[in-house]
Amino acid sequence: MSKNIELVAEKILQAYESRIPIDFIRNNHTLDENLAYDVQDQLILKKCKLFNEQIAGYKNKYD
């Protein structure tokens, strides 16, 4: 996994937890569609682990 993917996923998770908005990711990182899905996948894994969440109706880049 790339450091950018981990970094972006962590920033989004922090914003989710703190309820404090962040700047648009695209202003600081360049993500193509595949990388955006990778960030989403990483974020979902983090949320499931941290909050013991279960995912339903999740679309990944292979759908």
Contacts with 8 (C-beta within 8 Å, 6 or more apart), sequence order: 25, 29, 31, 39
Q: Are 48 and 18 in contact (CB under 8 A)?
A: no
Mean pLDDT of the chain: 87
- Distance separating alpha carbons of residues 5 and 44, to the nearest angstrom: 12
pLDDT tier for residue 14 given thresholds of 50, 70 and 90 = very high
- Distance separating alpha carbons of residues 17 and 44, to the nearest angstrom: 14
pLDDT at 22 over 90: no
pLDDT tier for residue 55 given thresholds of 50, 70 and 90 = confident
Contacts with 24 (C-beta within 8 Å, 6 or more apart), sequence order: none
The whole-number average pLDDT for the span 32-52 is 92
Q: Over pLDDT 90: what percentage of the chain? A: 51
DSSP state of 20: -
